[in-house]
Amino acid sequence: MKQFFMMLAMAMLVSCGQGNQANNADNGQQAQMKSCAGLGNAPKMEPTEVLNLYEGKAPGSESWTNVEDYTDETKEILFNISTPTLAVYLPDPSIATGSAMVVCPGGGFYILSYVSEGIKVAEELCMRGIAAFVLKYRTHPIGDENADGKVDGLDLTIKSSKVMGALSRESATGACLSMEYTHLAFQDADRAISMVRQHAAKWGINPDKIGIVGFSAGAITSMHQVLEHSEAGKPNFGGIIYGGWTHDVKAPADAAPVFLCAPVNDIFYPEESHDVYMAWREAKVPVELHYYSDSQHGFGAVPTGKSSDLWIDEMVRFMRDVQF
């Protein structure tokens, strides 16, 4: 059953002092990176705290009545998210870099792959000295389409088929932007970065080193945040994992450095990553793009034994290159 829902999730993921002191810190970071290369070495963590993004009901979804749920005991797949939250994961102070990333799981804006593209990503980032904040953003409501009183695998499959049908007609990003409640996920992402910046001192974070990384639908959410944001919600770095934007994308005047990666044969428009790369290159904004020849959509932070297992180290190295 778990395998079924993992496959379903993949189908729904759209379609995520100076001088000597500085030198010593740099050497320490290099040693830390060597000790944790690849995925799967991070220890399990519990969040320091979990915060609601809003007081009371989230604006724009006050009338929602569907109950948040998950597909099995692993809670890998969450759906019917109406109360967005931010789970705080902090690195050991001895290796903390002062940088932070808001993490956006994917799931076609109907579900969230909350473990493989959320919690595990946070654990990997913390092992590399980067604070992580897993965003449980609002998803499109899923009702009981079988009239049997319970949302089940068939209901999720029906939603999956609707998303896949939309993706067959246009780009992944274009299909998602046309969905009714996608803008609420974007609203939650802006709120999340604003909250992290507001409480940066409390968590030992540099307010000028707050980024966002997302997967699939979460990558679209992250890319939107890079393109459009409030002053407090501006990301200083973007990690776009198997996602991108529409073909006419342009780098904004305040564009942050962006790291992109995707499977060469991604089922959901890998060229959208290249479109972003070309726009950033044209604007002379730091950008890096990696394509993996033998991987599939949805690898997240789960080791596969493929070259895509190195994506997080490649992203962290790029962060260092741009002084993030």
CB half-sphere exposure, 192, CA atoms < 13 A: 33
Tell me how far apart the alpha carbons of residues 33 and 316 are, in angstroms, rounded to a whole number.
9
Q: What pTM value is reported for the model?
A: 0.85
Domain hosting residue 42, numbered range: 2-321
C-beta separation of 163 from 180 below 8 A: no
Count of domains in the chain?
1
| 312 closest CA partner among 247, 210, 239 | 239
User: Tens place of pLDDT for every residue, the chain, 324 residues?
Assistant: 334 334 444 444 433 333 333 344 454 454 444 455 789 999 999 999 999 999 999 999 999 988 898 887 778 899 999 999 999 999 999 999 999 999 999 999 999 999 999 999 999 999 999 999 999 999 999 875 544 445 555 455 545 545 554 554 467 898 889 899 999 999 999 999 999 999 999 999 999 999 999 999 999 999 999 999 999 999 999 999 999 999 999 999 999 999 999 999 888 888 999 999 999 999 999 999 999 998 889 999 999 999 999 999 999 999 999 999
CATH number of residue 177's parent domain: 3.40.50.1820
Residue 216 near residue 10, CB atoms below 8 Å: no
